[in-house]
Structure 1
Amino acid sequence: MKRISFNLMGVLCILFSTCFYACSEKRTLNSDYEIIPKPLDVNCKGDASFLLKDGVAVIYPENNRKMQDNAEFLVDYVERQTGVKLTSHAGMPVDGAICLTLDLSDDNAEAYKLIVNDKRVCISGASEAGVFYGIQTLRKSLPVAQDINVNLSAVEIYDKPRFAYRGAMLDVARHFYTVDEVKTFIDMLALHNINRFHWHLTDDQGWRIEIKKYPKLMSVASERKETVVGRWYSGIYDGKSYGGYYTQDELRDVIDYAAKRHITIIPEVDLPGHMQAALTAYPELGCTGGPYEVRTIWGVSQDVLCVGNDFTLQFVKDVLSEVADIFPSEYIHIGGDECPKVRWEKCPKCQERIKSLGLKSDAKHTKEQRLQSYMIQEAAKYLKEKGKRIIGWTEILEGGLVPDATLMSWIGESGGIEAAHQHHDVIMTPNTYLYFDYYQSKKVEDEPLAIGGYLPIEKTYNYEPMPKVLTKEEQQYIKGVQANLWTEYIPVFSQVQYMVLPRLGAAAEVQWTDPSKKDYKDFLRRVPHLVAVYDCYGWNYATHVYDVNVDMKADTVNHVLNVQLSTMADDPIYYTLDGQDPTEKSLKYTKPFTIDQSVVLKTMAVHPDRTSKISVDTIRFNKATLKPVVLLQPNESRFSPDGPVVLVDGRNGNHSFDTGAWLTVAGNDLEAVINMQAETILNSASVHVYVRKDAWLFDARGFSVSVSSDNKNYKEVASQEYKQMQESDSDGIIEHELSFDPCKATYVKIKVISEKSMPDWHWNAGKAPFLLVDEIILN
């Protein structure tokens, strides 16, 4: 009996062990080399694979700290994304391991090869940085799941970046982020193969860098007494002091953190404009002597450094000396943008400096612009003595480019083109493609408040930074591409992530990937896996790529809106036309359709792992809707590419001026003729005007309606004049309506009179503002 019990116990133990092993065995998932940015050359090598599992070693060369860091990063990445626990140690490459080597011979120092077979994984680079980017490729090829093993399918990848300079800028002057948050931003850059972190550290609204020689920059200039709420002309403030700065020890810590990830930090101290915070601490630096206060609203201050003051020149050199000693980067960014000259024009010291230097105005530059160039030259000469070079924004072209200066072209591409013509290095960063503080969606009412503009991910992705107007020789001066995030309207770091991700993936493909390999639909197919990595790290991101793309084209011949719906992966789309939220039981989209009456269109896409946001488009028909319309005065076509039909397409423009929904004029009036195509009885007309003083969008000065039966002889039936806007007037969408006695009209002429010059209270007084009009309603 005892013997039988013993044998039974043995069988039970064996069964238990077998069951335990089967239950505890990990799943095995496969790798996928469809990553962002897309590599140059990917060759899959059949069915062989390497099993990535606990205990696999990452081997790096002896006595190479950078390669040891690379190995430790890979170990951390793999465990974070898959739960697989690798080890790392120095040694010679062996089978059964991931081997990091520096035996790739390549002219591009950031080139790498990733070779996977059934024996080993080898990442070889032309430098430690090249190996790091190979590690990023391997990391992004892994599935994101826990408690798994990974089959790395056999592959040979050769890859190198298109541009040597691949940058992203974060502004910490308007809103301040902690050291840990800045490090997270750096981690985000590393994932996207970005190797330059442009750190915007000073501005009118705050000074964020410790300068030991000038302690009041920390005690005074780093803190503003309050912050404007909403737009900068709102007149509403939060009443809360706001500040912060980084000590030099903290800066060096962040520099080291970035360097380990092969990212160079380029600091920016903006001068001679954007200096009101510094003027508050040291008022003797300004032309008027103050008093000043750290700026509590956004925009551009007219108070700038007094270049006629010898102390100012010494201050600049002292500050740049400490900055150059802290940051090992070759470049120091000195700003040079948005520097009003009004103080210099009236300042005796500045005018005396202009006279002593023999600066003259000519057809190309004013003497004050040449004074700015002198200031930039002084900074550049001093930094050259410290072994540094300068980068500046587009405006350093004013007064002539300083020798050896690199230009960041942000006001479109024209500045970069001009600098390349002059054989100066250029970083392309045009606001129209690479300003991530712009709205990502036309549905701005569903978005956090942003500075304005409209920059969908597709537009960023399709940017080509090499201007065709340049010769082959001149194109060599285009050294790189940078995305920028200004933070006036971004108070918390989670919103930084939301504005940047996944647009940073699109920018990365512009920076890294050979243009022959780029395809937007293919990019969208690869986005979900990149987003899975964001989820793994808990990063906040925008989900617009998952939403339904609603494309409506106005047809004034058939008086309909042609509607086409699409998603990034051709996932099922459901829609309603009665304002009800769609479900999977609603109408399923199968082909384009038309709208010929007032409706509320709601759409929704169903993806494998999520449901998109519900998109809402409200269409309201009136007697002018989808009637032929022509303009009698020119418009700013760049803001409304569809032309005057946007005035009568049945859709009201919203609080974004750059979505194509508003018809825009500047310096002239909006004058449109609507062909009613039949005699029509009318008794009212209205228009909407978008007013945003900080963006130079001003209200109308007048509105009139005229009617005709033959499009030749017109009779005015109503008109109204409006007062000039005051600084205290509210921003927003303003409706102007005119009522009149019922009349018959076949043609209706609408005239909206614009403000021709911004008033004295505006910081751009004297310049022509924009007039944005939409929608014309006739009843």
Structure 2
Amino acid sequence: MRIIPILLLILLHPYLSIAQKNGLNLIPKPNKVVYGEGTFQIPADIALFTTVDFVEATALLTAYPQLKTAPVEILKKITKKHQHGLRILPAEPVDKIAPNAYRLQVDESGILIKANDQKAMLAGMYTFIQLGLLQDDPLTLPQLTIDDSPRFGYRGLHLDVSRHFMPLSFIKKYIDLMAIYKFNQFHWHLTDGAGWRLEIKKYPELTHTAAWRTHRNWKDWMANGRQYTVQGTPNASGGYYTQEQAMDIVRYAATKGINVIPEIEMPGHSEEVLAVYPHLACSEKPYTQGEFCIGNEETFTFMKNVLDEVLTIFPSEYIHIGGDEAEKKHWKTCKKCQALKEAKGFKDEEELQSYAIQQMDEYLQSKGRKLIGWDEILEGGLTKGATVMSWRGEEGGIKAAQMGHNVIMTPGSHLYFDSYQTDPRTQPEAIGGYLTIDKVYSYNPVPKELDEDKAKHILGAQANLWTEYMPTYQHVEYMAFPRALALAEVNWTNQESRNWMDFKERLQHHYKLLQQLDVNYYRPSYHVTSEISFNKEKQSNTVDLHSEQLVPNIFYTTDGTEPTSSATPFTNPIEFTTTAIIKAASFIDSARVSPVEEIKLDIHKAIGKKVFYNNNWEGYPAQREFTLTNGETGGLSYQDGQWQGFTKDFDAYIDFERREEINTVSMRFMQIPGPGVFFPGEYLVLLSDNGKNYRKVGSITNLEDSENPNLKFKTFTVTLDKPQMARYVKVVATNVNKGFLFADEIVVY
């Protein structure tokens, strides 16, 4: 018997019932909580004590709702009269609090927060603040003791302000939200081909021209010449931060325990620089390339001069220089680059890139700083001390850690928040990909491949927000939250203490908090999704229905009618041994609050038969030759293991091992043009008795628009005029757009 979902949550997770009772729904989850008896009522004008060490931290108390404190009393010596009230005090040896930990205690004497240093104290302060924000009555707190410390020292969020400039006020709001959820590193992506965003006094053209473009929207700009323009012209769109504004952000972030890491892109992604200083390009002409000329010594003079000013603004130990996606074709034909290559004895252009990275690395180290770059900086070798951000999967991070380099994990599969977070057909256009909050939460930054002595090089994880398709700060919020909360717990809470259903329950309380903070977060969808598993032995499909609601209220039919609140309520997975069509939707009382989802279950003749490929899959093998006849259809992402990818024409056949009656042959394909996934141009079905001589029995020409950016699915079905007997069924689908074809099942009746 299936227990109803809310009861199941409580039975499986005793923590939830305690948390519910005490009003404790913190994210990230503290690593140790001991509950006392009763509550503490915060009195009006509660006495506030601290020491000189933590005076600045007390300023954060203004974020605690309804809290009024007496003027802070700075203690030189702690006596018995300081045993009540709100106390923010340094840890003592007798407390046995680890160097990076804090203790928050609420009892009849009041509130006591202890830590050894400012960073740990700020974490404790934000736990206290979040407690207040989550309470129905923030002046009534459960009695408890929290002993807590982070799993990782690096807990990062990134923001790209090159593709779309973001106002200074939002940068501060972004930092505020980061602080509440215990992020401590703000990676500020300030320069890229779409615009230079930081004042550099030695090179005024960077902000006079390279910070401004002809179109506000990045996509429009990309499609219409990619031109920069001069500040002050009527159509100029963009912006930049003055050095004083950037320093203000640094100071502001520091008060909240957050370090600001600037990213200044080099040697690639520099079209905007070379448009205004073309002598630094191999061609010496604007609008011809995005990579600096590595053979030109002036390139390094420019980079070092820029970094000198950056270092005066940003005290961060780490400086990010990008180092990714440099197109090397210009270096191959550049006399200066080739001369340098020959003089240094380099084998290829990868070593030219490595040379440029190492020059910057050595320069930063000479200034007492450390370089961070994307994982391409591994190509050609790194100097000791460089840190790698692993974005192209985990492979670069694993390699770097094994070489003894520190690593920040930021793989696109789990931490690129520019990906769609739910069904792309229901969302504003994004760059592609599919990353749900539960997938973010499932991430463990320490790969299994690393031994313990190498795993210590994993500093933590970071999510990236590239803003090509986020033209406003409200859209940034929509893509960042609540996924950032899942990453906050990944980075802070011990792996063994994390549980998705526990997190999901606590998350419900943070929607109210985000509303109070005026965050345009993504709301959980009522749309019905399905999970289908096929049992080969029983030849049956088992269907589970979900939505993003904590406790979905789904009704369904199997007779072809539209579901209403009088239809069958979904409580248990449903098993079908024949072909069927399910129609399902979510309801609040009698009102339908989602579209009707139609789910087709095929128990067809080709299930379990072997597929032979004339053109093999590429890059996306799924379950290899067992994918297209395994009885299971693909979901919303071509990375889910059910979609098989092809870069040539799809050309494959099924051997039934005996003649079978064939009535229809269907295949479903996906289209999402952003990452280059298209429907076939033509779909053909052929039959044969001997596997050599095939006869065409039908074809379909695709008429769908390949320019429409939205995710689409289309089932191509050839229905024979009359049944035919055949042993072999061959399907050909032409790849007219020269991108990827993704197919999930050959269905034969």
The TM-score with structure 1 as length reference comes to 0.82
Confirm or deny: 8 A CA contact 1:691 1:734 kept in the other structure.
no
Q: Which of residues 372, 375, 382 is equivalent to 1:394?
A: 375
Aligned to 2:29: 38
The letter of the residue matching 2:516 is: C
Q: Give a deviation string over 1:223-263, Cα, whole Å, max 9, x none.
A: 22126786999789999653111111110111111000010
Residue of 494, 497, 512 corresponding to 1:514: 494
Give the conservation status (yes or no) of the 8 Å contact 2:532–2:632: no
Q: Secondary structure of the equivalent of 1:544?
A: coil
1:267 to partner: Cα distance = 0.3
Letter in 2 for 1:603: A
Q: Where in structure 2 are the equivalents of 1:44-55 lying within 5 Å? A: 44-45=35-36, 47-55=37-45
Instruction: Give the Å deviation of 1:86.
Output: 3.6
SS in structure 1 opposite 2:108? coil
Equivalent of 1:663 in 641, 644, 648: 644
Identity of aligned residues (%): 33
Cα deviation, 1:664-696, whole Å, max 9, x if unaligned, reads 13578552528599833447766535362x524
Question: How do 1:188-587 and structure 2 match up within 5 A?
Answer: 188-226=177-215, 241-292=236-287, 303-360=290-347, 367-441=348-422, 443-544=423-524, 550-554=530-534, 561-566=541-546, 571=551, 573-577=553-557, 584-587=565-568
- Match for 1:100 among 54, 70, 88? 88
CA contact (8 A) 1:599 1:620 kept: yes
- Alignment check: 8 A CA contact 1:675 1:747 kept: yes
Shift in Å, 1:57 = 3.2
In the aligned structure 2, how far is the partner of 1:109 from the partner of 1:647? 57
Aligned twin of 1:604: 586
Q: Verify: 1:73 aligned to 2:60, yes or no.
A: yes
Q: Which runs of 5+ in 2 are unaligned?
A: 1-19, 228-233
Cα distance in 2 between the residues matched to 1:337 and 1:631: 39
Q: CA RMSD in A?
A: 3.8
**Structure-2 separation of matches of 1:687 and 1:565:** 21
Kindly provide the amino acid, as one letter, of the partner of residue 491 in structure 2: Q
Distance 1:510 1:747 in 2: 50
Would the aligned equivalents of 1:639 and 1:658 in 2 still touch at CA under 8 Å?
no
- Measured in 1, the distance between the counterparts of 2:527 and 2:84 equals 44
Q: Matches of 2:85 and 2:127 in 1, distance apart?
A: 17
Contact 2:687–2:726 under 8 Å retained in 1: yes
Name the SS for the 1:564 alignment partner.
strand
**CA distance 1:548–1:668, shift in 2 (3 Å):** closer
Q: What is the CA–CA distance in structure 2 between the aligned matches of 1:544 and 1:390, rounded to whole Å? A: 39
Q: 1:173 aligns with which of 162, 171, 186?
A: 162
Aligned counterparts of 1:612 and 1:356: Cα–Cα separation in 2: 72
Counterpart of 2:742 in structure 1 is 772
Aligned residues: 709
2:113 is aligned with 1:120: no
Deviation at 1:556, TM superposition (A): 6.4
1:715 aligns with one of 691, 694, 706: 694
The residue type paired with residue 63 of structure 2 is Y
Contact 1:644-1:663 within 8 A present in 2 as well:
no
CA gap of 1:339–1:245, structure 2 versus 1, over 3 A, is: same
Check whether the contact 1:706–1:714 (CA below 8 A) recurs between aligned residues: no
Unaligned runs of 5+ in 1: 1-28, 294-301, 361-366, 759-768
Contact 2:608–2:629 (CA under 8 A) maintained in structure 1: no
Deviation at 1:698, TM superposition (A): 5.8
In the aligned structure 2, how far is the partner of 1:566 from the partner of 1:252?
A: 47
AA at the equivalent of 1:444: P
The structural deviation recorded for 1:49 is: 2.8
Pairing of 1:145-184 with structure 2 (within 5 A): 148=137, 150-184=139-173
User: Residues of 1 paired with 2:543 and 2:86: CA distance?
Assistant: 52
Q: Secondary structure of the equivalent of 1:485? A: coil
CA contact (8 A) 1:643 1:663 kept: no
Shift of 1:618: 2.5
Deviation readout 1:706-732 (Å, 9 max, x if unpaired): 32458x566242698999xx9999997
CA displacement, residues 308-336 of structure 1 (integer Å, 9 cap, x when unaligned): 11221111111111111110001100000
Alignment partners' CA distance in 2, 1:177 and 1:573: 39
Q: Give 1:593's match in structure 2, choosing from 568, 574, 587.
A: 574
- Alpha carbons of 1:613 and 1:356: their partners in 2 closer, same or farther (altered >3 Å)? farther
Separation in 1 of the partners of 2:665 and 2:92? Answer: 75
Report the residue type matching 1:90 in the other structure.
Answer: E
What SS is found at the alignment partner of 1:169? strand
Would you say the 8 A contact 1:574–1:583 is kept in 2? no
* Residues 659, 689 of structure 2: 8 Å contact kept: no
Structure 2 distance, partners of 1:557, 1:332, is 57
Q: Report the equivalent of 1:90.
A: 73
- Residue 142 (str. 1) matches residue 132 (str. 2): yes
Q: How far 1:388 sits from its partner (Å)?
A: 1.1
Instruction: Please state whether the residue corresponding to 2:64 is helix, strand or coil.
Output: helix
Residue 642 to residue 162, structure 1, CA distance change in 2 (3 Å): farther
Alpha-carbon distance in 2 for matches of 1:237, 1:200: 20
Q: Within 1, Cα distance between the matches of 2:443 and 2:522?
A: 20
Does the 8 Å CA contact 2:243/2:313 hold for their aligned counterparts? yes
What amino acid does structure 2 have at the position aligned with 1:156?
T
2:464 counterpart SS class:
strand
Return closer, same or farther for 1:149/1:444 CA change in 2, 3 Å cut-off.
Answer: closer
User: Does the CA contact (< 8 Å) of 1:555 and 1:626 recur in 2?
Assistant: no
More displaced 10-residue stretch of structure 1: 101-110 or 179-188 = 101-110
* Contact preservation (8 Å) 1:575, 1:589: yes
Does residue 1:695 correspond to 2:675, yes or no?
yes
Aligned to 2:139, the other structure's residue is in SS state strand
CA 1:51–1:653 in structure 2 vs 1: closer, same or farther (change >3 Å)? closer
The SS at the match of 1:91 is strand
Secondary structure class of the residue paired with 2:459: strand
1:26-85 CA distance string (max 9 Å, x none): xxx98533311111111112x243212432233221x44xx23322212x2222xxx343
The answer on whether the counterparts of 1:110 and 1:133 sit within 8 Å (CA) in structure 2 is: no
**Closer, same or farther in 2 for the Cα pair 1:622/1:567, shift >3 Å?**
closer
Q: Shift of the alpha carbon at 1:95?
A: 4.0
Q: Distance in 2 between matches of 1:620 and 1:232?
A: 42
Code of the aligned partner of 2:428:
P
Which deviates further from its counterpart, 560-569 or 188-197? Answer: 560-569
Cα distance in 2, alignment partners of residues 507 and 643 from structure 1 = 36
Cα offset for 1:187?
1.0
Identify if the C-alpha distance between structure 1 residues 670 and 544 changes in structure 2 by more than 3 Å, giving closer, same or farther: farther
Deviates more, 1:622-631 or 1:192-201: 622-631
Q: CA deviation at 1:529?
A: 1.9
